[in-house]
Amino acid sequence: MSKIVMYATAVCPFCVRAEQLLRRKGVTEIEKIRIDLDPAQRDHMMQITGRRTVPQIFIGDRHVGGCDDLFALDHAGELDPLLAGKGA
């Protein structure tokens, strides 16, 4: 399974929804980077993604975007192969 990294905050409902979807897909490990606790991580997230909002999700080396982007990948049938390491 591909490595999952999620930039998140403590009180973000979209972060919770994204994590719930990943858990339903069988993901057991998500590396969460809390940007509310570390402003330098927020700056880094914005630099590598060009976005200010959370969550920002990486599957393997691929930046998939936020919660809506993750759900769109799932609806398009592209999330499972990505999680399995195909196309990351």
Per domain, the residue ranges of the chain are 4-83
- The CATH number corresponding to 4-83 among 3.40.640.10, 3.30.1740.10, 3.40.30.10, 3.40.630.30 equals 3.40.30.10
Question: In terms of Cα–Cα distance, which of 2, 4, 6 is closest to 55?
Answer: 6
Per DSSP, which regions of 1-88 are E strands? 4-8, 31-34, 56-59, 62-65
The answer to whether the pTM exceeds 0.85 is: yes
Angle between helices 13-24 and 67-75 (to 10 degrees): 30
Mean pLDDT by 10 residues, the chain (88 residues): 93 97 96 96 97 97 97 97 81
The pLDDT value given to residue 1: 76
